[in-house]
Amino acid sequence: MIWGLIITWVVTSISLFIVSRLSFLGVEIDKFSTALWSAIVFGVLNATLGAVLKFLSFPFIFLSLGLFALIINAAIFALAAAFVDGFTLRNGFWSALLGSIALSIVNGLCFGLLSQLGVL
């Protein structure tokens, strides 16, 4: 249980750091320790506020065929950037939207690779 949480934290930190190195997204993380803190803040916000927002906005998510969930994820991403020093979004909401999409893709690839290797 605890190892799964630690692995998820480290993989999300690495994914955030990779996303920050894709300069066209406008997501900036100055060092890896900032990525570690950002992953914690993002995870806590996503598990608490994100879950509540997705529950309350379910009709909008349903009617938009899930696209409104992207807006909620971008808002959580931007909120995490606001809370962590050294984690900035150059282009505001658009950086948050593109960054959250890129984070989902990179995280999915990393977790898929770990699953194939038998780590998870």
User: Using one digit for the tens of pLDDT, what is the confidence trace for 15-73?
Assistant: 999 999 998 999 999 999 999 999 999 999 999 999 999 999 999 999 999 999 999 99
Structural domain includes residue 24: no
Structural domain includes residue 10: no
Residues 97-106: tens digit of each pLDDT: 999 999 999 9
Structural domain includes residue 4: no
Give the pLDDT band of residue 119 (cuts 50, 70, 90).
confident
DSSP class of 120: -
Q: Which long-range contacts (CB under 8 A, 24 or more apart) does 79-84 make?
A: 79/45, 79/49, 80/38, 80/41, 80/42, 80/45, 81/27, 81/38, 83/41, 83/45, 84/34, 84/37, 84/38, 84/41
Q: How many domains in the chain?
A: 1
Structural domain includes residue 47: yes
The SS3 call for residue 119 is coil
Structural domain includes residue 59: yes
Structural domain includes residue 2: no
Instruction: Say what the pLDDT of residue 102 is.
Output: 97
Structural domain includes residue 15: no
Instruction: Say what the pLDDT of residue 64 is.
Output: 96
User: Containing domain of residue 110, as a range?
Assistant: 33-117
Structural domain includes residue 21: no
